[in-house]
Amino acid sequence: MTAANEGLVYEEFVPVPMRDGTLLAASVTRPAGAGPFPTVLTRTPYDRTNQRANGEAWARAGYAFVRQDVRGRFDSQGEFWPFRDDPADGFDTIEWLAAQPWCDGRIGTTGASHVGTVQYLAAPTRPPHLVAAIPEFAPASVYDRWWYHGGAFRLGFNLAWIALLAQDNLRHFPARMAELNAAREQLWVTPERMRSLEPMPFFREWTPRDLSLVDGVFGNDWIARFMEHREYGEFWRPVDFTAQHAEMETPMLHIGGWHDTFCQGTVDSYVGMRAHARTAEARAAQRLIMGPWRHVNWGERGVGELDFGEGLLEVSPFETRRRWFDRWLRGDAAAGGNEPPVLIFVMGENRWRAEEEWPLARAEAVPFYLLPDGALGTRPPVHERALTFRYDPNHPVPTIGGCEWVNFPCGPFDQRVLDSRPDVLRFQTAPLDEDVEVTGQVFAHLLVSSSAPDTDLTAKLIDVHTDGRAFNVCDGIARVRHRRSREHPALLARGERDEVVVDLWSTSNLFRRGHRIRLDVSSSNFPRFAPNANTTAPAYSAPLGREERAVAENTVHLGGERGSRIVLPVVARRR
């Protein structure tokens, strides 16, 4: 169906043929007239019809805008299996578009989250007419930047994502849709509910492996297959883009947020392509923008409980995208061709700063040691000590903010609501004598032992303000059985000490003079991550929340230069 309105042409239900004969549904919005026009493509599992206003904005800027339902979703034919068919389908769609009379053969892709992920999947196939891309808020690996994090299953995110996908499949079954919507009410958590530390029993019991709500809904067993593959291996390699950067040659504008659920994935994609893209021209053509945003809230100045100021809005979403495509699809060198490759927002200082590289060569890796009295200092304790806490998987530490997804309050939130918990070890500096900027990837090196053969370690970097408010900056988790390898788990012998490295991902934060730098260490962060059962059984060998569980006595060992510490990338401030 073709229609015209206000100088724009709309085409709905455009069938795009794939190489196997499957037809994928697309909608096209373009300027009136013969063209041809440079074309912007977005491929989504979330219903292409939601993108009409976006299409009109692109068409008024002189572009054709194409939005397509990925295979097996909404009006597209075929079987939906996340990410499996997107490399070939992306290639076929781009090349089909290039042959249309209204397209000038120059195509750019755009979109966030899943819609950014399919861009990374198409890029290694190198469609001849793919000129540039803007993947936003997307992971670099579905295994350890989406489904898992440090070996721990991302419970809150994945359950909500599955429920969101199931909506399409149940739209013609009102009774089941009503049941699913009731379940989603429990999965979409309000800030008030989060702060109440409600135990959230629904998260404890609900699992995609045995829930009748989604059982059979997708017509295949992709959820079960995802759950079965607990370690990294052949199953996950096709959706690990870090291993495919050398096959990519597309200029990309990578956009992400310090509080985004895929924060480190955005950074990893930029770094990997800057170093390994197929050609020197492609390596030089990578750009990175990192703001303080949570998942897909680019254009808002408030994140979590903090307002990052009017200056945050200086980087406009649509104008930034338009300039990128003007540069590459129209050859407009004045549209950002000579800018530094990296643009970061320094939280705390609350200003944008251009950089020539990432990571910053001038950042110094400074170890801050965990001290027995709860202090955090740059000198290790002289004598070895140990601090032990009791981790009960039936009473996990509640998630308060952080890099969650849209179903959970994410971003910086005051952590003091957790201060009374005995299963959290807290370490903090004295009030700072001067500003300390931390910009880069943060790692906690914890020397630990446990009464359990497997457990988790969590680490959370916190900025304690002068009024006592304590806002999370970045955090992470590490499953002990994966401390040496993602592919080959190793249980911990009773009493054995070993180093566990917790990746807190990347950030840029100015800890102001008078503030304190704080590190919280524990073993759970629920419902963001599924609690570790502390047993020898393979993870998720029984439905989540109903597996055999044990209480662990977890010990953090202090002392010596190789003792427990957090390593911060500290950037010297210009005086």
CATH of the domain at 77: 3.40.50.1820
- Measured in whole angstroms, the distance separating CA 242 from the mean position of its chain's CA atoms is 14
The pLDDT of residue 204 is 65
In a domain, 8, yes or no: yes
Q: Are residues 112 and 188 in the same domain?
A: no
* Nearest-angstrom CA–CA distance, 5 and 1: 13
Domain boundary among 228, 246, 263: 228
Q: Kindly state whether residues 200 and 101 are assigned to the same domain.
A: no
Helix H or strand E segment including 23: strand 23-31
- Asked if residues 455 and 501 have their Cβ atoms less than 8 Å apart, the reply is no
Q: At what angle do helices 174-187 and 155-169 cross, to 10 degrees?
A: 160
What's residue 208's pLDDT? 47
Given 179, 208, 228, the domain boundary residue is 228
Q: Judge whether 94 lies within some domain.
A: yes
Domain match, 504 and 531 both: yes
Does residue 305 belong to any structural domain of this protein?
Answer: no
Q: How far apart are CA 285 and CA 388, in angstroms?
A: 49
Q: Measure the CA–CA gap between 572 and 438, rounded to whole angstroms.
A: 9
Instruction: From 109, 134, 159, give the residue that closes a domain.
Output: 134
- Is residue 527 reached through a cis peptide bond, with omega within 30 degrees of 0 on the bond before it? yes
Q: Does 250 fall in a domain?
A: no
Does 308 reside within a domain? no
Q: Helix (H, G, I), strand (E, B), or coil: what is residue 141?
A: strand
Residue 209 pLDDT: 46
The answer as to whether 501 is a domain residue is: yes
- Tally of domains within the chain: 3
Asked if residues 304 and 473 have their Cβ atoms less than 8 Å apart, the reply is no
Is 245 a domain residue?
A: no
* Together in a domain, 159 and 55: no
Q: Are residues 125 and 159 both part of a single domain?
A: no
- Domain membership of residue 74 as a residue range: 1-134
List, by residue number, the catalytic residues. 113, 260, 295
**pLDDT at residue 88, rounded to an integer:** 98
Residues 504 and 414 grouped into a single domain:
yes
Residues sharing a CB contact under 8 Å with residue 458, sequence separation 6 or more, in sequence order:
397, 475, 476, 477, 478, 502, 520, 521, 522, 523, 524, 525, 529
- Supply the CATH number for residue 531's domain: 2.60.120.260
Shared domain check, 80 and 172 = no
Both 167 and 130 in one domain: the answer is: no
The model's pTM is 0.95
The pLDDT, as a whole number, for residue 207 is 52
Residue-level pLDDT at 223 = 87
31/150 same-domain check: no
Please check whether residues 485 and 369 belong to one and the same domain: yes
Whether residues 377 and 517 fall in one domain? yes
Which run of H or of E encompasses 265?
helix 263-276
Pair (37, 151) in one structural domain:
no
pLDDT in tens, 158-176: 888 988 898 877 777 777 7
Residue 324 lies in a domain: no
pLDDT < 70: residue spans in the chain: 1-5, 199-216, 336-337, 538-546, 575
> And the tokens for 128?
């001849």
